[in-house]
């Protein structure tokens, strides 16, 4: 059975997850993205690659930031963009998810960018469109539940490649709430696919899901020990609601043990970079002096994110 994100010719038709993507495909996306990085610096920030195409931003869960980056990427490719916050419209009237999709597809959408609170929702949508629209419509997963956020994973890889060049000599630490993090899952699949020899997971046992060892990770509950000698630190956002479900006692205690401070950063390799998918909770998972410090590449991630999303849209549209 082929993965629902591939078409009959084995080409990428949807981007649902990084899991299972070949290494060459990831590098192809990153190479394509590097061609787009320059576009944003031009006086006319547009290329006509998606002219005449309609991109529907379908957000079943609010996220201004991610939606905006997809909107900018689509507009720089000259596509028409429609933003829909679905949680406030049709589903509250009782329309089913797939009915909503059928209606929007009937308006000749060429591409859906989907954010949903349930793991697997974009896969359900893509499989449905494969059945009823035989590959006319592309789906990009813009984050589903705890499952995947593949464009974030790819822009993180772009960032690491930009600063570190070679993946096969790196030690990478992913720190924090991995249990609830779709970004962590996408990063982990990308890092292991790209040949990173050592990926570490750092966090309290309440925030580490089962199966991390099977995904090829080394587990650390002591952040100082886990950061020793690493080249890349990927910090994860800690949602405030985690303090309510008996997972963590308080933000203060979390910060003390798992917040990234200058003192803890000093344990990593001297040229280590610090990444964060945003939005940051300063003083919870990361200290301001680190977030604004010379080793942080957090704003570079945002800039590269536009180019990576342009690359993904272009590649899918050409399938």
The secondary structure of residue 134, as a DSSP letter, is: T
Our CB check for another protein shows the closer of 58 and 272 to be: 58
Q: Identify the three-state secondary structure at position 254.
A: helix
Name the minimum Å distance from CB 238 to another protein.
Answer: 17
Q: Kindly report the length of the chain.
A: 319
Name the minimum Å distance from CB 101 to another protein.
Answer: 11
Our CB check for another protein shows the closer of 194 and 212 to be: 212
Name the minimum Å distance from CB 219 to another protein.
Answer: 12
- Cis before residue 266, ω within 30 degrees of 0? no
Our CB check for another protein shows the closer of 54 and 152 to be: 152
Our CB check for another protein shows the closer of 119 and 221 to be: 119
Name the minimum Å distance from CB 205 to another protein.
Answer: 13
Our CB check for another protein shows the closer of 135 and 229 to be: 135
How wide is the angle at C-alpha 305 spanned by C-alphas 301 and 306, nearest 5°? 135
Q: Identify the three-state secondary structure at position 159.
A: helix
| Footprint of another protein (CB under 8 A) | 1, 3-4, 16, 19, 96-98, 116, 118-121, 123-124, 127, 144-148, 182, 185, 209-212, 214-215
> What does the alpha-carbon distance between residue 80 and residue 77 come to, in Å, rounded to a whole number?
9
Q: Who's near 309: CB < 8 A, 6+ residues apart? A: 69, 70, 73, 74, 140, 151, 155
Residue pair 314/110 in contact by the 8 Å Cβ criterion: no
Name the minimum Å distance from CB 146 to another protein.
Answer: 3
User: How many Cβ atoms sit within 10 Å of the Cβ of residue 28?
Assistant: 15
């Amino acid at each position: 059975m082929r993965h629902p994100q591939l078409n009959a010719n084995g080409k990428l038709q949807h981007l649902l997850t990084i899991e299972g993507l070949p290494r060459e495909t990831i590098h192809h996306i990153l190479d394509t993205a590097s061609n787009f990085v320059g576009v944003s610096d031009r006086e006319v920030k547009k290329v006509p690659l998606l002219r005449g195409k309609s991109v529907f931003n379908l957000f079943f869960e609010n996220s201004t930031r991610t939606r905006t980056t997809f909107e900018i990427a689509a507009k720089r490719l000259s596509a028409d963009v429609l933003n829909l916050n679905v949680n406030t419209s049709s589903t509250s009237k009782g329309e089913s998810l797939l009915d909503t999709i059928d209606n929007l597809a009937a308006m000749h959408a060429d591409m859906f960018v989907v954010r949903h609170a349930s793991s697997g929702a974009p896969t359900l949508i893509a499989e449905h469109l494969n059945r009823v629209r035989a590959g006319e419509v592309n789906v990009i997963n813009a984050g589903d539940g705890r499952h995947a956020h593949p464009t974030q994973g790819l822009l993180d890889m772009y960032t690491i490649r930009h600063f570190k060049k070679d993946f096969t000599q790196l030690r990478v630490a992913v720190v924090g709430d991995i249990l609830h993090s779709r970004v962590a899952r996408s990063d982990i699949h990308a890092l292991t696919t790209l040949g990173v020899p050592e990926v570490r997971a750092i966090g309290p046992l309440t925030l580490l899901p089962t199966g991390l060892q099977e995904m090829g990770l080394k587990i650390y509950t002591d952040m100082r020990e886990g950061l020793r000698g690493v080249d890349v630190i990927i910090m994860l956002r800690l949602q405030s609601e985690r303090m309510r479900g008996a997972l963590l006692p308080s933000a203060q205690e979390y910060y003390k043990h798992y917040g990234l401070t200058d003192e803890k950063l000093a344990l990593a390799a001297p040229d280590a970079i610090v990444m964060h998918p945003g939005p940051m909770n300063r003083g919870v998972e990361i200290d301001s002096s680190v977030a604004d410090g010379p080793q942080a590449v957090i704003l570079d991630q945002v800039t590269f994110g536009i180019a990576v999303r342009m690359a993904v849209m272009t590649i899918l549209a050409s399938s």
